[in-house]
Chain A
């Protein structure tokens, strides 16, 4: 069984479009995250949710909006896509809120977004 799954795996779209990426975890974890990995492989956290509550909201454009309908899901909606949004987006989860960064995260396979 897949622990952390993301859909779609690949997403190719035009500038200006709105798109969503879905993430689901079946590990029973309380905390979920979104990361962006750029073309240089640099991985940076975007958001963190704990029990459906937004905990970490890094400096990302407000075109990006996470939504957590329940503890097992954390979706990422992106409005008005721009060329610079092209990247790989990873969802992750951890059993508990990262009190002091002391958690192990489980990552999904990534969604490769290409904006044309």
Chain B
């Protein structure tokens, strides 16, 4: 069965520091991959997605993610975190066959001054 794992439940970084959020998936082929962000009290907003091609994808708000097939990973990165980046981040997998979506359990990001 397909699954998405976000190993870090909660991460705290200082403003201006770099960030990497981990995402691993279990899937028989290369899935479609997404990162969403959920600000407090808000719905989910798409940060970026990977369907095919260049394995390094750029998203909104200065985020990028790299698909690594050998590691079944799709980690999210940002070189310099801003206080407004504090939110919940969800990795998601789109099933190429079953038309389904699977979300990870999220990583909560706290940014300290």
Measured CB to CB, the residues of A under 8 A from B are 4, 40-45, 48, 55-56, 90, 92, 97-110
- Chain B's closest residue to A33 (CB) is B101
Q: A45-B100, A45-B101, A56-B99 are in contact. Are A100 and B43 (CB under 8 A)?
A: no
A98:B101 contact, CB within 8 angstroms: yes
Q: Are A98 and B105 in contact (CB under 8 A)?
A: no
B68 within 8 A of A: no
Q: Which of B41, B44, B96, B108 meets A90, CB within 8 Å?
A: B44
Give the size of the chain B interface in residues (CB under 8 angstroms).
27
CA distance A101 to B101 in the complex (A): 6
Decide yes or no whether B32 CB sits under 8 A from chain A.
Answer: yes
List chain B positions with a Cβ less than 8 A from chain A. 31-32, 34, 36, 41-46, 49, 51, 88, 90, 93-101, 103, 105-106, 108
CB of B43 within 8 A of CB of A110, answer yes
The residue on A at minimum CB distance from B45 is A107
Query: Which residue among A41, A44, A48, A99 has the maximum number of chain B CB atoms within 10 Å of its CB?
Result: A41
Task: Tell me which residues across on chain B come within 8 A of A101, comparing CB atoms.
Answer: 31-32, 93-96, 98-101
Sorted nearest first, the 10 A-B pairs with minimum C-beta distance are A101-B94, A107-B43, A43-B103, A107-B44, A100-B96, A41-B106, A101-B95, A109-B43, A98-B99, A101-B32
Question: How far, in whole Å, are A41 and B34 apart by their CA atoms in the complex?
Answer: 17
Which residue on chain B has the smallest CB distance to residue A101?
Answer: B94
**Are A42 and B97 interface neighbours, CB within 8 A?**
no
Whether A100 and B99, one on each chain, are in contact in the complex, defined by CB atoms closer than 8 angstroms, is yes
On chain A, the residues within 8 Å of B96 by CB distance are 100-102
